[in-house]
């Protein structure tokens, strides 16, 4: 069993060992979360090189490449290299993910549905990435863009209550979520969606 976490990567140094398609996906994910990424590989694809925010070192990796890194991803097609990167990370106390190689991981990456700041993660603890991806695709069809708007409305209301010095605990958020808020958002009627939320919360505070 693995312990699920969401890591705060903003401004942290991350290393990706590998320069192909898998490395590209990993780099894009790290950049999206604010990571400062360095890529080391003997060959780096043109698609990867288009990412101007990344530092590139086109050469074989070295154990000292991990110095100062907070997170490392080994994304090569050579199991021996991935294992060596993992071993170096273990010695240095740095988290390492071996792409599609759970034996050489100190953490695994879930398959994720993202709608704004809403994230729904599916993990098989590295046992079947195919199943995780399949489930993610099913969830993508069920969780639309309206859920990101719903999150924004809920968060804004919660922030407003806290700014007014009111507790957000004990309020009946579930009644609001079980109401027609999502239907109102889908039709673009955000004003009534906010009113519905406030009515449900007011009723629970009486």
Given a cut of 60, whether residue 99 has pLDDT beyond it is yes
Given a cut of 90, whether residue 202 has pLDDT beyond it is no
Given a cut of 60, whether residue 206 has pLDDT beyond it is no
The helix (H) or strand (E) run that includes residue 89 is: helix 79-92
Q: In sequence order, what E strands does the chain have?
A: 13-17, 36-41, 55-58, 71-74, 95-98, 111-115, 118-122
Rounded average pLDDT over 57-65: 97
Rounded average pLDDT over 131-143: 95
CB within 8 A of 135, min separation 6: which ones? 111, 122
All domains in the chain, ordered by first residue: 1-109 (3.40.50.720), 110-143 (3.30.160), 146-205 (no CATH)
> Residue 199: beta bridge partners?
none
> Quick check: helix, strand or coil at residue 44?
coil
Q: What is the pLDDT of residue 204?
A: 64
Rounded average pLDDT over 111-126: 93
The helix (H) or strand (E) run that includes residue 142 is: helix 129-142
> Quick check: helix, strand or coil at residue 29?
helix
What's the chain's length in residues? 206
191, two tokens: 């004003």
Given a cut of 90, whether residue 205 has pLDDT beyond it is no
Given a cut of 70, whether residue 40 has pLDDT beyond it is yes
As a whole number of angstroms, the distance between CA 10 and CA 33 comes to 6
Q: Please name which of 54, 44, 49 lies closest in space to residue 20, comparing C-alpha atoms.
A: 44
Residue 49 pLDDT grade (very low, low, confident, very high; cuts 50, 70, 90): very high
53, two tokens: 């925010």
Rounded average pLDDT over 177-190: 96
Q: What is the pLDDT of residue 67?
A: 96
As a whole number of angstroms, the distance between CA 130 and CA 24 comes to 19
Query: Which has more confidence, 15 or 101?
Result: 15
Q: What is the pLDDT of residue 126?
A: 84
Rounded average pLDDT over 19-37: 96
As a whole number of angstroms, the distance between CA 124 and CA 128 comes to 6
Rounded average pLDDT over 29-54: 97
> Quick check: helix, strand or coil at residue 108?
coil
């Amino acid at each position: 069993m693995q312990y699920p976490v969401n890591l705060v990567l903003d401004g942290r140094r991350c290393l990706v060992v590998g320069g192909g398609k898998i490395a590209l996906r990993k780099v894009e994910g790290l950049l999206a979360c604010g990571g400062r990424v360095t890529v080391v590989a003997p060959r780096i694809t043109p698609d990867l090189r288009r990412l101007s925010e990344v530092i590139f070192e086109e050469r074989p990796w070295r154990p000292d490449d991990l110095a100062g890194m907070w997170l490392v991803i080994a994304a090569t097609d050579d199991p021996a290299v991935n294992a060596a990167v993992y071993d170096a990370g273990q010695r240095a106390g740095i988290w390492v993910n071996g792409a599609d190689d759970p034996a050489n991981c100190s953490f695994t990456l879930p398959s994720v549905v993202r709608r704004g700041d809403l994230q729904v993660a599916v993990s098989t603890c590295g046992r079947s990435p195919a199943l995780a991806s399949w489930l993610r695709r099913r969830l993508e069809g069920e969780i639309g863009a309206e859920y990101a708007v719903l999150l924004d409305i809920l968060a804004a209301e919660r922030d407003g209550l806290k700014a007014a010095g009111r507790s957000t605990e004990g309020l009946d958020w579930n009644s609001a979520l079980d109401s027609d808020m999502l239907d109102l958002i889908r039709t673009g009627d955000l004003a009534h969606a906010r009113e519905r939320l406030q009515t449900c919360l007011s009723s629970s505070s009486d």
